[in-house]
Structure formats: structure tokens, C-alpha cells
């Protein structure tokens, strides 16, 4: 029953992620051609810096919003649901506004800090309202996830992305193809969708200062602040490669790396984000309602499903990355394809951490999560400093994969002391072998023309992998038999 519910929520999130990813595939070739390689690299630098600032503004409270919802609704603590809503929303509004104001002061008083781009300070100032809007959006999104309203969460993720797409592309085509217009349009789009989202989530709730609970906020902060460290460590790991590449190789190399990284993120998000969004509130609820054994069984099945879906996606995308980047971005970005296999596999490993670290989430042990990722982030920066001068952007990609592997292992070891999480080695080896064979077969396909070559490789790879699954995977055979019985 739990797996069926998981698949229902994952399908909602996956559909939303698929539609959102489609928006990325629409905007990506337009932006890479309108902005050029240097500007695309600088846009990536601004975006990852904003992500870091938004994480600071959230103070980890988006994680607390999920962790405290179920027990508050069930009456297992001293607060009521109205206090919960007011504390989450007002607390995140205050912290988001404070970080936004501080960042504006830094930008205005430290103009010469930001290297060689002549208008980078103006762009940071224009983009600064995104800190507050994204902090509030994160709080609202966490409430929807805690309520297991996966359909509505997916709908707003789509509205968020397509509103941005319409405003940004429209502004850059009609006004000016510049970074400043890009971020002004982004602010406008996200503000409109945020108002609609706030009305939907909060229309039946009374949000008032008198309902704000300083004690509840303190408890949330005690859990959230280590999670802030955890989140910032992850973002710091993502920022490290960008800044090292910018300093060592320049904006053009950064643009190529960012294009490859973003495409990998679009593809992996369909699997990774969907599972992460669905599974955390579910195993928290199962742990609370049914205990250890049911939770361990649920986690084991979820991990097998994840391995089944994620490994072929990573290998398949790596096999067609060269053609895909040339088509989506342009020939100027093709060199970035060397980073894809390492980056996308790193993202797949990262997606499994929500399961591998389940024990730490269940016990609200955010400090250990922070320490594990903090160590991995330092390792990431050190590897980038060593590898980027020697291997270029490929070195940054290798550092990304190594970092996620180390973090996943450390988190799993820590979590296993609390709850048993069996690693599905046999499925990993089986699907990994199938995927490696598919990668090799796709590499043999040689067709003239980028689009025709991509389509041929996708068809050959998909059919080849499907045949291997049907011939040698018992789980797939059993599912097929069940489907045939239903048709009969």
C-alpha cells in the first residue's frame, strides 16, 4: 500500500518535473544563443550565488516545516496548526527580508569585489528581490509537501517555471537580450506566481503576529540551523566548481560547464527531485504510525525502485550528451559534453541520499548531516583546486561525482546506526551492467546529422535496454505478466 502511494506521489512529481524540464529544454537553446557563452557563464555565477543567499534566508526552516507538520496536526506537541502556519510563514518572511537587505548593502558598498564583468553589481542588485520571493516560496512548498499534496505541488512548480519562461523570453526578445532584463523578468514572474501560491496555501489559515510562537520557532531553528549548514555545504560544493573555473579557466569555460551541468540537472530532476519530494514525508509518517519494521521495508523497496529508474537515465543521457548539447545549446558548447557522465552520475548518487540518510532524518539528527556534507564540500573544493588546472572542466565534473559518493557513503554509515538500510547491490550491478552495455551499443551508432544521430541513438539505446530488462530481469518479467493478466 505504501509503495502504491509512493508511486502515486512520485508520478505526480515526475509529471510536474517532466513538464518543468520541458520548459528548460525550450528556454535553454534560446538563452544560450541570445546571451553568448561568456554571459551564460556569468548568469550561472549569479544564479548559484543567489541559491546560496536563499539558503541563508531560509535558515533551514523549510526542513522544519516538513518535520513538525505531522506531529502538530496530530496534536503530539503543545502547538496548534494555526500557530504552526504563522510561525513558519512569518519567520521565513523575516529571515528572507533580512538577508535581502544585507545583500543589497554589500552590493552597494563593495562594487569592486566582483571581478571583471562591468555590470555584475547592477545585476546582483536587480536580482536581489529573488532572495525574499524564493524563501517564501520554499516555505509554502514545504507545507504542501508536508500535507502530501503532490498534485498541487507539481502544478505550482510548473506555473513557477512557465511563468518565468514567458516573462524572461518575452522580455529578452522584445526589450533587450541582456542579463539585466533576464533577472528583472524573473523577479516579475516569480512574484506573480508567489501571490497565487500564497493565496492557495494560506487562504483558509489565519496568519497573524499574535499567533507566532517564539518557542516553536526556536525548536524549528534548533533543527533547521544544522540543516542550513547542510544545505549551504551542498550549495558551497556547487559554487566551488563555478568559482574555481571562473578564476582558472575564465567565463567562456564556465559557460560550457554550466550548460552541461544545467542539462544534466534537467534530466536527473525527473527522477531525483520527484523521489526526494515524495519519499521524505511518507517515511516520516510510516515511522510515526507503523514503526521501524514497516519503515525499513518501505525504504528498501523505494531504493530498489530508484536504482531501476535512475541508472539507465544516467548512462543513457551520457551516451547522447555530445549530440544533445550541440543541438540544444549550439556547437560552441559541445566541449562541455565531457563533463556530463560524471555530473549526471553524481546527481543520481545525490538523489539516493534522501533514502540512505533516512535514519538521520527520522531522529532529526541534522548536525551529523551537516558535518557529513561539510566534510564533502571541503573535499570538493580541494579536488577542484587540484583537478581543474590539470583536466579543465572535466576535472570539476570528476570532483562533483567524488564528492557525492563520499557524502552518500558517510551519510549511509551514520544512518545505519539508527535504522537498517540494505544496499541493493544485486540490482545496482544488474542495471549497471545493462546500462553499460547500452552505453557501448549507442556509441557504435553513427548517422549523419545531429538530430538524426540523436534520435537513432535514443531509439537503439531504448530498445536494447528494454530487451535486456525483459530477458534478464525477473521483476520486469513479473510486472509484464501482471499487466497481461489484467488485459485478459
pLDDT tops 80 at residue 240: no
> Where is pLDDT greater, at 27 or 274?
27
Quickly state the pLDDT bin for 487 (edges 50, 70, 90). very low
Helix/strand/coil percent split, the chain, to 5: 90, 0, 10
Cell of 195: 501571490
pLDDT tops 60 at residue 11: no
> Where is pLDDT greater, at 305 or 356?
356
Rg for the chain, CA atoms, rounded: 23
**Position 485 in a domain:** no
> Where is pLDDT greater, at 120 or 177?
177
**Position 40 in a domain:** yes
Eight-state DSSP code of residue 77:
S
pLDDT tops 70 at residue 6: no
Q: For residues 206 and 60, what is the distance between their CA atoms, to the nearest angstrom?
A: 23
> Where is pLDDT greater, at 19 or 328?
328
**Position 483 in a domain:** no
Quick: pLDDT tens for 358-404. 888 887 776 777 777 778 878 888 999 999 999 999 999 999 899 88
Q: What percent of the chain has pLDDT over 90?
A: 15
pLDDT tops 60 at residue 113: no
Return the closest-CA partner of residue 155 out of 188, 187, 196, 183.
196
Distance linking the first and last C-alpha atoms of the chain = 24
Q: For residues 381 and 376, what is the distance between their CA atoms, to the nearest angstrom?
A: 9
Quickly state the pLDDT bin for 425 (edges 50, 70, 90). confident
Cell of 161: 517555471
Q: For residues 75 and 388, what is the distance between their CA atoms, to the nearest angstrom?
A: 53
Question: Average pLDDT of 211-215?
Answer: 86
Q: Which of 80-94, 101-115, 117-131, 287-301 has the highest mean pLDDT?
A: 80-94
**Position 459 in a domain:** no
**Position 453 in a domain:** no
> Where is pLDDT greater, at 112 or 26?
26
pLDDT at 229: 66
Q: For residues 432 and 162, what is the distance between their CA atoms, to the nearest angstrom?
A: 35
Q: For residues 211 and 451, what is the distance between their CA atoms, to the nearest angstrom?
A: 58
**Position 54 in a domain:** yes
Could you give the 3-state DSSP secondary structure of residue 473? coil
Question: What is the extent of the structural domain holding 42?
Answer: 2-444
Eight-state DSSP code of residue 176:
-
Quick: pLDDT tens for 180-202. 899 999 999 999 989 988 888 88
> Where is pLDDT greater, at 271 or 68?
68
Quickly state the pLDDT bin for 479 (edges 50, 70, 90). low
CB-based contact 255:398 (threshold 8 Å): no
Average pLDDT for the chain? 81
Q: Which of 115-119, 225-229, 255-259 has the highest mean pLDDT?
A: 255-259
pLDDT at 265: 80
Q: For residues 45 and 250, what is the distance between their CA atoms, to the nearest angstrom?
A: 12
**Position 382 in a domain:** yes
User: What is the number of structural domains in the chain?
Assistant: 1
Q: Please enumerate in sequence order all residues whose Cβ is within 8 A of that of 180, keeping only pairs 6 or more positions apart, or say none.
A: 119, 122, 123, 126
For the ranges 11-15, 59-63, 476-480, the lowest mean pLDDT is seen at 11-15
CB-based contact 398:391 (threshold 8 Å): yes
pLDDT tops 60 at residue 112: no
Q: What percent of the chain has pLDDT over 70?
A: 84
**Position 455 in a domain:** no
Amino acid at each position: 500500500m505504501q509503495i502504491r502511494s509512493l508511486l502515486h506521489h512520485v508520478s505526480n512529481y515526475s509529471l510536474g518535473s517532466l513538464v518543468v524540464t520541458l520548459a528548460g529544454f525550450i528556454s535553454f537553446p534560446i538563452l544560450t544563443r541570445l546571451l553568448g557563452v561568456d554571459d551564460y557563464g556569468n548568469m550561472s555565477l549569479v544564479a548559484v550565488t543567489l541559491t546560496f543567499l536563499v539558503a541563508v534566508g531560509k535558515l533551514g526552516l523549510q526542513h522544519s516545516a516538513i518535520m513538525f507538520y505531522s506531529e502538530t496536526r496530530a496534536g503530539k506537541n503543545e502547538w496548534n496548526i494555526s500557530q504552526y502556519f504563522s510561525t513558519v510563514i512569518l519567520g521565513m518572511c523575516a529571515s528572507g527580508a533580512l538577508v535581502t537587505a544585507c545583500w543589497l548593502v554589500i552590493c552597494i558598498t563593495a562594487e569592486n569585489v566582483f571581478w571583471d564583468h562591468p555590470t555584475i553589481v547592477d545585476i546582483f542588485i536587480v536580482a536581489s528581490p529573488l532572495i525574499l520571493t524564493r524563501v517564501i516560496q520554499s516555505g509554502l512548498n514545504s507545507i504542501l509537501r508536508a500535507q502530501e499534496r503532490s498534485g498541487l505541488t507539481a502544478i505550482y512548480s510548473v506555473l513557477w517555471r512557465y511563468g518565468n519562461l514567458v516573462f524572461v523570453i518575452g522580455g529578452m526578445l522584445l526589450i533587450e537580450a541582456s542579463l539585466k532584463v533576464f533577472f528583472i523578468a524573473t523577479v516579475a514572474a516569480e512574484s506573480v506566481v508567489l501571490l497565487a501560491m500564497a493565496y492557495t496555501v494560506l487562504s483558509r489559515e489565519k496568519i497573524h503576529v499574535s499567533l507566532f510562537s517564539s518557542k516553536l520557532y526556536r525548536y524549528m531553528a534548533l533543527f533547521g540551523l544544522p540543516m542550513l549548514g547542510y544545505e549551504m555545504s551542498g550549495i558551497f560544493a556547487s559554487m566551488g566548481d563555478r568559482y574555481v573555473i571562473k578564476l582558472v579557466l575564465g567565463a567562456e569555460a564556465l559557460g560550457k560547464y554550466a550548460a552541461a551541468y544545467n542539462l544534466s540537472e534537467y534530466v536527473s530532476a525527473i527522477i531525483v527531485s520527484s523521489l526526494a519530494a515524495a519519499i521524505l514525508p511518507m517515511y516520516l509518517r510510516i515511522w510515526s504510525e507503523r514503526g521501524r519494521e514497516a519503515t525499513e521495508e518501505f525504504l528498501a523497496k523505494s531504493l530498489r525502485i530508484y536504482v531501476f529508474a535512475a541508472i539507465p537515465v544516467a548512462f543513457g543521457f551520457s551516451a547522447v550528451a555530445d549530440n544533445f548539447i550541440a543541438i540544444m545549446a549550439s556547437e560552441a558548447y559541445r566541449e562541455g559534453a565531457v563533463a556530463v557522465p560524471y555530473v549526471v552520475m553524481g546527481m543520481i548518487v545525490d538523489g539516493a541520499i534522501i533514502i540512505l540518510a533516512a535514519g538521520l532524518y527520522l531522529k532529526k539528527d541534522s548536525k551529523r548531516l551537516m558535518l557529513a556534507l561539510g566534510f564533502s564540500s571541503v573535499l570538493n573544493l580541494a579536488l577542484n583546486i587540484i583537478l581543474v588546472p590539470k583536466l579543465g572542466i572535466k576535472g570539476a565534473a570528476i570532483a562533483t561525482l567524488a564528492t557525492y559518493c563520499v557524502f552518500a557513503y558517510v551519510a549511509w554509515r551514520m544512518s545505519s546506526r539508527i535504522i537498517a538500510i540494505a544496499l541493493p547491490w544485486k540490482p545496482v550491478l544488474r542495471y549497471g551492467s545493462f546500462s553499460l552495455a547500452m552505453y557501448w551499443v549507442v556509441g557504435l551508432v553513427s548517422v549523419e546529422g545531429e538530430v538524426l544521430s540523436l534520435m537513432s541513438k535514443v531509439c537503439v539505446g531504448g530498445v536494447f535496454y528494454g530487451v535486456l530488462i525483459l530477458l534478464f530481469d525477473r521483476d520486469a518479467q513479473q510486472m509484464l505478466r501482471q499487466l497481461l493478466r489484467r488485459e485478459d
